[in-house]
A and B are shown apart, each in its own frame.
Chain A
């Protein structure tokens, strides 16, 4: 596969490490949320046969974490963003 890195352009997926569902961005605040919230955060995942937003890490590249929107049936990639930008847009900060 080829991932079109937002800064570096098309790069072979072999340079990346896959993590999984980009919903991992939405980590609960551990001083507020309890075990149930963390349980859901960590273990409950959508597994769509279709478009899926996933975290990929450009380990053999610029070490950016990316959010890749990939079709799980065709491998078509329709969007690639810097995870940091996505996280900030989702309201994550410090």
Chain B
């Protein structure tokens, strides 16, 4: 065991866990990484490309190496960083990207083949022959690619999304963040303090120096306790702010249950928060970077600050023979701290000219080679090496809005540019001020400044006494050596050589360098090693680092589970459902439902003995045409249009005229877009002098309403028109067929004889002894038909009453399929014809466009290109051989014409089987179609390899004179 004294773990409790099936123990407060190290496990994974043995490098979320699979079964999660995986009793973890075992990995052969796998390998190798790509190369690459593997099962956990509001969002709960939160929270500001760690305090938990006379970790605990007592402060541990959106909105993922074996019932695993902040402070600290040298990727070689964190926070000695290789004073702290814990430590300080030039140990570090300033080399037997090349501000979020970081010579690192993100300021190490005291002071000062911008005057907290050492660093990026490989991006296996190769091949821009070598493109986004690559490129090109530049970061700052982005929108909850008023009844009848947008509509209602949908649909159509059918048409959009200018308004939004419509009458309306294309159609009823009810197609209810609001607010702001949707307020049923009137008259309290209620009449009525209702004598089927509307709460009772009243007529309830059949038989246009490309002229409705008034789309509908002779016209189509069936989408071709686009004459838009006619029929758009009645053409469908000889006929397959409607 390598557990040593101290740390913030609860030694009174011991938890069992497994790694690759072997049992280990740890304590509450451990991460998987600290617990594995405490058990002497250094080898935790294999690298991506070369399958090199790897161990943990860091102690935080920047970890590039120690990626493991957590949990088993459906909850298995690949590529989880062991450094942030909170230990729990019973945790099961496994290494990944190895076969058959972590210690012996057959794919390690790649390491021997490394000369072939240099930067650009894929681009250069898999070029030719082209035919090899799909069958040979891609399968090989896919098999070799990736690290962990998915469970292949549905995620059993749930995820929430949520919204939070605050005056001040503080990102990071180290000394700077705590000071900012205390300053703002004590003043009563609404503060959210978010930290990705389960224990707030940041580096204070990992250091030995004190704050205000007590241990830093204790000071942090006290600060957190005080913040928890402030009602306006929300503390969010285990919460990663992953990106800055616009205008003070931040995205954050809270890991609610990841520290448990599984979430409590009904509790989400994670929550994706959308945080609305008036101001934000970035206090995400800094991330240490290594110095590259040959074979610097062995398990046991880690960042010096991580080595120290494991010892101080978790009471773990990663080795008992330790060397620290540093170019700055902070590295020396590791030596001091570890030495104080009784470990044997020596320091190789690059500033003295000493360097580590290599390492040995096949599955873990056994020795290093050191080249002294005097040129002499020696081999040191060590089992832990801490490397420090300096600290990079963790500025990920500050660059989300393209604010390019700027170079700071004093700390030899990039810092966020001022005002990189509007409303966000930086405090502490992320701002480039590296001492604890400066972190506390800037945290307090930034909070004061942020609240001042919000008009609140607050006093900063008294900054306690704390470590205030200056940064002393001499930049050193890598150790010159011979032929070996020195890693700078261990996760993507990018080495110093790859940077040289990129330079040699002229990929010298940082953006090209990144994409060519994949530097920084792994799940860790190169948080530890990116700057090394830039520095080496700078050296190769003879430029400075600031001249070379740096890439920027996009959200997310750390990997996010897709489940968190999906939230509750999964499976049947992907979208809400809209139920029609007849749904309960229809479900009782065994109806088959179809999704129409959010709506669930009755598609058809099978009866006993029917084995195909066609049997049901044919019966519904024939029964309706023979006697009477009932259909729920509630889903059509209904818009109440009132006001003294309502008629004038309708004249502007419809191509045809409405101001002349008599009270108590309905008219079919055609709505155009300003470009002259048909937008929607439907009937509008004039219920009173200033009172109209417009219907829209089901699909366009929302866009049409939006358009009408646009017309009345933006185009004609003084028209006296008021709008409100009433789609949901009324249950509306179509009653169609020769017996429609007889059926309805049994329910309607008033006289609805043809004289009292003629074709296209509408009005307020009562039904069933006094219920307020509306009746419209309109028809989509071509039959004598009415639509009757009752308040929605009576929709269920109404369908039952209609069915009961219809029994003596053998009435049928029909669904959307029969509805579609009957409208095609009647030649009415619908969605397939209203395709966003068609004009009124195309639809055979050209005469509806009034030229006597200004209306949306009128002028441009008359454009030459839209009105040219020979354009597409709506036609009816029947197969010459009635036994053949047509397919929608088939194209018209003249007899004998080759099936090419040049000979295309149009296409079939809607196809149904007409039980009335006993064969397949269709509507279609045909060039010069009106003049081609009786002509024979071919309907060719190259996708289905079908070709049917067809005859062009009138689109009105039944009752072309409309006698049934007026019956």
Contact = CB atoms under 8 A, between A and B. Distances in A.
Asked if A and B touch directly (CB within 8 angstroms), the answer is yes
Given A2-B246, A31-B854, A94-B645, A88 B710 contact: no
Interface string B239-266: 0000001111100000000000000000
A84 B721 CA distance: 13
Interface in A4-49: 12-13, 17, 19, 24-25, 27-31, 33-35, 38-39, 41-42
Given A2-B246, A88-B717, A31 B853 contact: yes
Contacts of A94: 645, 648, 716, 718-719
A13 B247 CA distance: 10
A62 B653 CA distance: 22
Interface string A72-88: 00111100001110011
Interface in B700-725: 702, 706, 709-710, 713-719
B273 to A, nearest CB: 14
Interface stretch (B359-367, B514-522, B828-836, B857-865): B857-865
B718 A38 contact: no
Nearest to B674: A42
B544 interface: no
B855 interface: yes
Given A1-B247, A75-B247, A87 B715 contact: yes
Interface of A is mostly: mixed
A34 B859 contact: yes
Contact of A87 (B245, B714, B858): B714
A19 B706 CA distance: 10
A68 B932 CA distance: 52
A84 B709 contact: no
Contacts of B248: 2
B276 interface: yes
A54 B548 CA distance: 38
B718 A88 contact: yes
Nearest to B709: A63
A84 B713 contact: yes
B728 interface: no
A38 B674 contact: yes
Nearest to A75: B246
A7 to B, nearest CB: 13
A31 B853 CA distance: 7
B710 A92 contact: no
A2 B247 contact: yes
B855 A30 contact: yes
A75 B401 CA distance: 10
Contacts of A83: 713-714
Contacts of A76: 422
- Among A2, A29, A33, residue most surrounded by chain B Cβ atoms (within 10 Å): A2
A19 B862 CA distance: 25
B675 interface: yes
Contacts of B422: 74, 76
Contacts of B855: 30
Contacts of A33: 859
Contacts of A84: 713-714, 717
B854 A93 contact: no
Given A30-B854, A76-B422, A25 B715 contact: yes
Contacts of A24: 714
Contacts of B718: 88, 92-94
Given A2-B246, A34-B859, A42-B675, A27 B715 contact: yes
Contacts of A12: 249, 276
B715 A29 contact: no
Contact of A35 (B245, B247, B862): B862
B854 A65 contact: no
Interface residues of B, number: 31
Contacts, number: 84
B644 to A, nearest CB: 11
Given A31-B853, A34-B859, A38-B674, A2 B249 contact: yes
Contacts of B246: 1-2, 13, 75
A21 to B, nearest CB: 12
Nearest to A90: B717
A32 to B, nearest CB: 9
Contacts of B860: 35, 38-39, 42
- Among B247, B675, B717, residue most surrounded by chain A Cβ atoms (within 10 Å): B717
Contacts of A63: 709
Interface string B393-417: 0000000010000000000000000
B710 A65 contact: yes
A88 B712 CA distance: 12
Nearest to A73: B402
B10 to A, nearest CB: 42
Nearest to A36: B859
B690 to A, nearest CB: 15
A51 B715 CA distance: 23
Interface string B712-751: 0111111100000000000000000000000000000000
A74 B403 CA distance: 11
A25 B714 CA distance: 6
Interface string B618-650: 000000000000000000000000000100100
B853 to A, nearest CB: 7
Nearest to A59: B706
A11 to B, nearest CB: 10
- Among B645, B648, B674, residue most surrounded by chain A Cβ atoms (within 10 Å): B674
B859 A35 contact: yes
A92 B714 CA distance: 8
Contacts of A28: 859
A42 B714 CA distance: 15
A57 B858 contact: no
A28 B860 CA distance: 12
Interface in B227-245: 245
Contacts of A87: 713-715, 717
A31 B619 CA distance: 51
Given A30-B854, A35-B863, A76-B422, A2 B276 contact: yes
Contacts of A65: 709-710, 713-714
B243 to A, nearest CB: 14
B722 to A, nearest CB: 11
A93 B249 CA distance: 38
A88 B706 CA distance: 20
Nearest to B703: A17
Contact of B706 (A17, A31, A74, A93): A17
A84 B716 CA distance: 8
Contacts of B863: 35
A29 B854 CA distance: 7
Contacts of A1: 245-247, 249
A31 B247 CA distance: 44
Contacts of B719: 94
B673 to A, nearest CB: 9
Given A25-B715, A38-B674, A42-B674, A19 B710 contact: yes
Nearest to A19: B710
B863 to A, nearest CB: 6
Contacts of A29: 854
Contacts of A2: 246-249, 276
A88 B854 CA distance: 19
A73 to B, nearest CB: 9
A30 B859 CA distance: 6
A77 B423 CA distance: 14
Contacts of B706: 17, 57, 59
A12 B645 CA distance: 34
Contacts of A57: 706, 709-710
13 contacts: A12-B249, A28-B859, A30-B859, A35-B862, A35-B863, A39-B860, A42-B675, A65-B709, A74-B401, A75-B246, A77-B247, A84-B717, A94-B718
Instruction: Identify the 10 closest CB pairs spanning chains A and B, nearest first.
Output: A30-B854, A2-B247, A93-B718, A1-B246, A84-B717, A87-B717, A65-B713, A84-B713, A38-B859, A75-B246
Given A1-B249, A28-B859, A75-B246, 5 more contacts: A17-B706, A35-B862, A42-B860, A83-B713, A94-B718
